[in-house]
Amino acid sequence: MRQRIRHNEELVREMNETTVPYGMLALWFIGQEGVVVKGGSTIIYIDPFVSSEAASRRAYPPPLAPEHITNADFYLITHEHLDHLDPGTVPVVARQSPHTEFVAPACCRSQLVQLGVPEQRILDAITAERRSFGDWDLLPIPAAHETLERDEEGNDRFVGYVIRLNGVTLYHAGDTVIYPGLLEKLQAEEIDIGMLPINGGDFFRRSRGIVGNMSYIEAAKLADAAGFDLTIPLHYDVFASNGEHPGNFIDYCYDNFPYMKCHVMARTERLIYVKEIR
């Protein structure tokens, strides 16, 4: 069977033309932890890593080029590593999409300004501070990559995001291990969709300067304990030297949590989530 590969203008057109009624979210996976979220008419990009510099480092070509990202209402960044804050994508989006607002940890502000984002379009992701944007709200949660780190003002260097949009609650973990208190924070938010890194970490990667995340086993256990309705693994496919086979996550869930819903997204897949009636 011939694979259906969508990219660039076609993919963006699909995002724009997809209708997402209340109680639903549409998601697109663009590699690593790059995700596009749509609810109603609001479109949110999280950690897109799609520039020409990204293309030279990725295991497969990015499905979008920065110049095709013309529909982002919000551009969320979890931390400053280049596969999350892509220095080749940020300035293009900032220049060609003057309506796009950027949200990132406070320590990223100076870098974003240097990349051409006007300061008035940058919002600091302050953990425990829920911010409303009219039809949706955002709560940054601390992330530990591999430790919790804060700047001189006490702002977290790494964050994940809880997004309440269109009647659905989504958690994008960013890069993190599980730390004391994370589970309780997630349980309090009643997450519908949890998106977690699964690539783990080990001595040999750390010796090469590669910072780790939770493993696929830890991700599965966290998802079960937190009560996610649907769990989607991330951060396993772009760097051959820092990946994981997502089938290991699925196999572990099947053997240990057979009633837990999980889904590995194909590249550029559009997933329509319908909130469960509770």
DSSP per residue, the chain:
-------HHHHHHHHHH----TTEEEEEEEETTEEEEEETTEEEEES---SHHHHHHSSS--SS-GGG----SEEE---SSTTTS-TTTHHHHHHH-TT-EEEE-GGGHHHHHHTT--GGGEEE--TT--EE-SSEEEEEEE-BSSS--B-TTS-BSSEEEEEEETTEEEEE--S-B--TTHHHHHHHHT-SEEEEE-B---HHHHHTT-----BHHHHHHHHHHHT-SEEEEESSSS-GGG---HHHHHHHHHHH-TTSEE-PPPTT-EEEEEPPP-
Give the span between the Cα atoms of 168 and 14, in whole angstroms.
21
pLDDT value, residue 8 = 83
CATH class, domain 8-273, is alpha beta
Residue 2 confidence (pLDDT)? 53
Residue 51 burial (CB count, 10 A): 22
Note the pLDDT of residue 1: 45
Which residues of the chain are modeled with pLDDT < 70?
1-6, 54-55, 240-243, 278
- Per-residue pLDDT of 212-227, as tens digits, reads 789 999 999 999 999 9
Give me the pLDDT at residue 6, please. 65
